[in-house]
A and B are shown apart, each in its own frame.
Chain A
Amino acid sequence: MSSHREAPEISKDPVADSSDLYAFVSPDHPDTVTIIANYVPLQLPASGPNFFEFGDDVLYEIHVDSNGDGRPDVSYQFRFRTELRNDKTFLYNTGPIESLDSANWNRRQFYSVTKVDAHGKATVLAAKLPCPPCNVGPLSIPDYGKLAADAVHKLKTGEKVFAGQRADAFFVDLGAIFDLGTLRPFEDKHLIGKTLFKGPGDAVNATNGLNVHSIAVQVPTHLLRRDGKKKVRGRDPGAVVGVWTSASRRQVQVRHGDKKNEDIEVGPQVQVSRLGNPLFNEVIVPMAQKDLWNSLPPSEDKRFAGFVAQPELAGLLPVLYPGLFDNLAALNKAKTPRADLLAILLTGIPDGIVPQFQNSTGDIQADMLRLNTAIPPAEKENAFGVIGGDVAGFPNGRRIADDVVSISLRAIAGATVPLVDEKFKPDAAATAVEQGLSIRDVKAKPLEHFPYLPIPFDGFNNPS
């Protein structure tokens, strides 16, 4: 998956587990950038009586680096607090919830938003903003769309924020991919699959019908750029920002059993989850170092560059699909460092490589989702983003419908090597390989406005 349960430790702590990160120039407000960080992955909608929520004991952050040093210049911090109206009932709601202050809604969550600047100065932008409830079902919440829309908050400082449940719009054939690297459209070409399958199969979206908890912020773009300019040219280094999200917990927790209100959480925040580019920790970093990676800032990513330069998956593809990746196999054998992947994932693509595009942040290697904020939204999106000729898509930031799994597969398979080596001829399979899914395989439709992610699947009808 993009980053759902991507490392051993965080897979046991879903409340703090970042699963997807999106950053794009807002299509309906192109003078703003929207950043969405998803947490609490793989939620079954029918989850009563204890529906999913953010952790009151987790510090959630969205970071933006505007000068390329892999350190935050702007951070938005989100802290949550749960309140119980009625401690005599086991119910989440005791009647229909028709407003965010409904007396029927028993267990509510609120949050504060704090902005931290490059010097560490923290300013509380808002306090006690209500989250929407989880989508229990149509009897409990007759008009979920309206209720959730009421939970979009416009701050005095210009940002819009939303924190609450959404449908997971990420699409991935998880079952196949982690069954020895099978891609169902090519399963009959697989080393073992060819003995089991007589032809191509249809991909399955493993995350379809599941929900997440999203933290979304829409920021006037100039508030994120290094020079604060409202207009910059796409070639200007100041147009590019690097984005990542992190979750942290207090270093010490003391539990008092039945005396819950005496539990203690003290000490510095310790980062337990991080996400920049999709799939970085999931398929680039070896399992033994994934927990370490989650604890570090992007400025430390130089130590993981070797795994990008010689990715394990690039070595597996020629083995798993014999005869389809011969040119990649030769490249692997020559131990040629993958300068294309190093640029895409760790420094950004410099000017002059892809026409009308750059998202370089300089020489410091840091896993960040890099967005050139001067590139306007595409009139017609291509899910393959930059390699599909649409420079407004991944790896220029990431939009909801970008097929980041297929893009990453093609890049690792060698499709992007010619960006740095004109003599290299990618295998035909490298430019054709895909997982066989698109946003149409998510049965909830993304919104055309903030917070863009679809309304969450309700518990009455899902699963059905």
Chain B
Amino acid sequence: MSRVHHGTRAVPRLSRRRVITIAASVGVGVSAASVAGLSLAGEKPAADDSAPLVISLRDARKGTFDVFSGGSRVTLTDAKLAAHLLKVVKRA
């Protein structure tokens, strides 16, 4: 979907700092760096903490997350965070 520019600026709702704070509070361990073969030259990680960040829970049982930000993807494992998120989702 194209994003047309006419004076207004995108306002990210989820900041990198916010997500890292959540993660740290439940003891997240980053287990993998950016994924080989997907990154392209000229693509950089998000430059600042206000950049949008998206987390995907790939494997709920193992607690495997993909964290997408800027031009990169980081994989991390945290079963407790996964369980907590699932609980929140079920309540919603």
Contacts and interface: CB of A to CB of B under 8 A. Distances in A.
Interface of A: 53, 55-57, 59, 61, 75, 77, 81-85, 87, 107, 114, 116, 120-122, 248, 250-255, 260-270
A130 B54 CA distance: 32
B41 A87 contact: no
10 contacts: A56-B2, A82-B3, A83-B4, A122-B42, A253-B1, A261-B11, A264-B12, A267-B68, A268-B35, A268-B38
Interface in B52-78: 52-54, 56, 68-73
B3 A263 contact: yes
A59 B40 CA distance: 10
A251 B37 CA distance: 13
B14 to A, nearest CB: 8
Contacts of A77: 42
Instruction: Point out which of B34, B41, B71 has the most chain A C-beta atoms below 10 A from its C-beta.
Output: B41
Contacts of B1: 57, 253, 255, 260, 263
Q: Chain A: interface secondary structure?
A: strand
Instruction: Point out which of B42, B69, B72 has the most chain A C-beta atoms below 10 A from its C-beta.
Output: B42
Interface in B1-21: 1-6, 8-13
Contact of A84 (B6, B13, B52, B69): B6
Contact of A82 (B5, B52, B72): B5
Given A84-B5, A268-B73, 10 more contacts: A83-B4, A120-B42, A255-B1, A261-B9, A262-B13, A263-B10, A266-B69, A268-B40, A268-B72, A269-B43
A270 B73 CA distance: 11
Instruction: Point out which of B11, B51, B53, B71 has the most chain A C-beta atoms below 10 A from its C-beta.
Output: B71
A250 B70 CA distance: 9
A87 B34 CA distance: 40
Contact of A261 (B3, B54, B68, B73): B3
A264 B71 CA distance: 12
Contacts of A120: 41-42
B31 interface: no
Contact of B8 (A55, A253, A261): A261
Interface residues of B, number: 32
Given A55-B2, A56-B3, A255-B1, A264 B41 contact: no
The list of the 7 closest CB pairs from A to B, nearest first, reads A267-B68, A122-B42, A268-B38, A120-B41, A84-B6, A116-B41, A56-B2
A269 B38 contact: yes
Given A55-B2, A56-B3, A83-B4, A264 B52 contact: yes
Contacts of B5: 81-84
A42 B14 CA distance: 39
Contacts of A263: 1, 3, 10
B40 A252 contact: no
B2 A248 contact: no
Contacts of B73: 251, 267-268
B50 interface: no
